[in-house]
Amino acid sequence: MPAAPAAGAHDGKGTGFHKRVSEPDIAGALGATIRRIWANILGVLLFSGVTNLLVLAIPIYLFQISDRVLTSRSVDTLVMLTVVIVGAVLLQVVFDAIRRGMLLRSSVDISARLGAPILAAAARASLQSNGQEYQTLGDLQQVRSFLVSGTLLSFLDLPFAPLFILAIFLVHPHLGMIVLTTAGMLLAIALMNQRATAKSFAEANRHLSRANLHLDSMMRNSQIINALAMIPEAVNIWGRDAAGSMAAQVRAQDRNILFAGASRAVRLLTQVGLLGWGAHLALRGEITGGMVIAASIIAGRALAPIEGAIEGWNSVLLSRAAYGRIASLLKSSPLNQQRLKLPHPQGRLDVERLLYVPGGTKRVVLNAITFSLNPGASLAIVGKSGAGKTTLGKMLVGSILPTSGSVRLDLMDLRNWDQRQLGQCIGYLPQDVQLFPGSIKDNIARMRPDAGDQEIYQAAVLADVHDMIAKLPEGYETIVAADGSPLSGGQKQRIGLARAFFGSPRLVVLDEPNSNLDTAGDRALSRAMALAKKDGITMIVVTQKYQLLQDVDNIMLLADGQIAAFGARAQMLQRLAAGKQAGGGGPGPADPRTAPAARP
């Protein structure tokens, strides 16, 4: 096994061993939020009951006017009835507004409570996927929209439909049977609607999800798309999935419209049947004309929630699927596991039999990678393009997880460290440096609002970028856009280097740290690596540049995802030089003595 001499293990007596880190309770947040939402819905259900009882005020008013006021010609009775009914209607309006307000606040509450846990869980889950979990935030918006929709109110009104049907039975059993039969027919239509549309709606959602992923990719690569005239191709890729989503949605909506039309026809024909048969019963003297009108209004109220549920069934399916994805993401998140807060690591690194096969493929990117580094040691990883250097670098900081094997920091597997603590102990400079919108100071501080100015300054000095920042018009307060402007590529890379050194990390991985640097930047990078070595930081550099090899203790040569050679710098430089002479240019960094290149 290629290895640097191993350091001793911690004795476990640090005071930090028995302290827990206060991370958000991901799964607990879901349970607490759902309990709170259900409590609010029960309150809404109570107000819905009162509202539905007050709905009977208008039918009763019509019945009393038709059968009492008009026959008795009593103005006093009319006035008293009108005052009572006006009060009932006003109460109905108030209670309806209250229940809608409660649902609105529930939708805001669920967004406020679950937004951060979903984003945290999605960020963690993206280690093993293409980042599609971030779309779960869209699922949260779908659930929030459902909470304030008329469809939910229709479902909340459904339990009171039997009350209205009972009231119609009290008017006359024949009329009650007509409404009851209609309710059964509407429920049957709802079930058929669900069976007929579920598959198409699911297909539409799958296509839409892929289209959104393509859209995100276009946004990230907008400069490349424009520079290489790839706009038509990118639009076509997005358009195929968008068209597939729309086609599936049209199929589902066509069926949904058909069933909604059938339910509306059944309800309207029921009104005709009620009025016609009620008139027949009135002619026979079994009920009065006022009862017929009242029964017709009550029947409309009894059947309206069923019809509303049918028309909004698509929203129900979408919201149910969205909640399922949210629950699955939060319940399965590794962030639910409470990790022990360990003492600050010294920087020992042990890599044991790493194997990495990207999901959905059979291509082995890394195989049997094993090595160790002492605290403060430095290593350069070299090799041809496609050898797996960048993948290994990402794995060493935990940004992707191995298929098998382990990466250990101070003997503890990275997966078993508390993620917040691990992030504070590790620095990473990726190949493609991305800065966040904000000031240079914020970017160096990793966007932490509690970062001290002294820590930011120390990171800038360690990365040897303080002088460069000082020459900017606004210094550390210079605002950086999402694309990194107004900084050049080299300046972005040096700010990223300072970010990697922020917080006194014990392990720093730099992936092609001088790919965009000029001569002055190269010298600054060499000074930064020397300062890091002096501070005892374990450093790993992925590089193709010969000059960086002079600043490390060990060199690893990767070939086809495996360690082809590993050893001390002097030994490996001789081996690489011999390989180039014997093979006419083997794997390894470019040596300016054999491959001169002019710098612009």
| pLDDT confidence band for 580 (50 / 70 / 90) | low
Question: Is it the case that residue 39 has pLDDT exceeding 80?
Answer: yes
The confidence score (pLDDT) of residue 127 equals 66
Residue 54: is its pLDDT beyond 70? yes
Give the pLDDT confidence score for residue 582 in this predicted structure: 58
pTM comes to 0.68
Lowest average pLDDT, out of 45-54, 88-97, 186-195, 552-561, goes to 186-195
Q: Which residue has the higher pLDDT, 554 or 260?
A: 554
Better-scored residue on pLDDT, 209 or 153:
153
CA distance 552 to 58: 87
Supply the pLDDT for residue 351: 92
Check pLDDT > 60 for residue 591: no
Q: Which H or E run includes 103?
A: helix 75-125
Average pLDDT over residues 265-277: 89
At residue 197, what is the residue type?
T
Q: How confident is the model at residue 130 (pLDDT cuts 50, 70, 90)?
A: low
> Residue 583: which pLDDT band, with cuts at 50, 70 and 90?
low
Confidence of residue 477 (pLDDT cuts 50, 70, 90): very high
Mean pLDDT estimate for the chain? 82
162 pLDDT tier (thresholds 50, 70, 90): confident
DSSP string of 524-578? HHHHHHHHHHHTT-EEEEE--BGGGGGG-SEEEEEETTEEEEEEEHHHHHHHHHH
Q: Where are the domains of the chain?
A: 24-149+330-336, 161-311, 349-583
AA identity, residue 138: G
Instruction: Calculate mean pLDDT across residues 239-246.
Output: 87
Among 167-181, 334-348, 407-421, where is mean pLDDT lowest? 334-348
Which CATH fold would you assign to the domain 349-583? Rossmann fold (3.40.50)
Residue 23 has pLDDT above 80, yes or no: no
pLDDT value at 135 more than 80: no
Taking residues 80-99, report their average pLDDT.
91
Q: How far apart are CA 183 and CA 165, in angstroms?
A: 9
Domains 161-311 and 349-583 are alike in CATH topology: no
What pLDDT does residue 8 have?
37
Of residues 13 and 496, the one with the higher pLDDT is 496
Q: Band of the pLDDT at 21, cuts 50, 70, 90?
A: very low
Please tell me the CATH code under which domain 161-311 is placed: 1.20.1560.10
Query: pLDDT tens, 301-315?
Result: 888 888 888 778 778
Largest CA distance in the chain: 119
DSSP-assigned letters across all residues of 390-458: HHHHHHHTTSS--SEEEEEETTEEGGGS-HHHHHHHEEEE-SS----SEEHHHHHTTT-TT--HHHHHH
Q: Provide the b/e sequence for 318-346 (b: ≥16 CB within 10 Å).
A: bbebbbebbeebbeebebbeebebbeebb
**Contact in structure between 549 and 573 (CB atoms under 8 Å):** yes
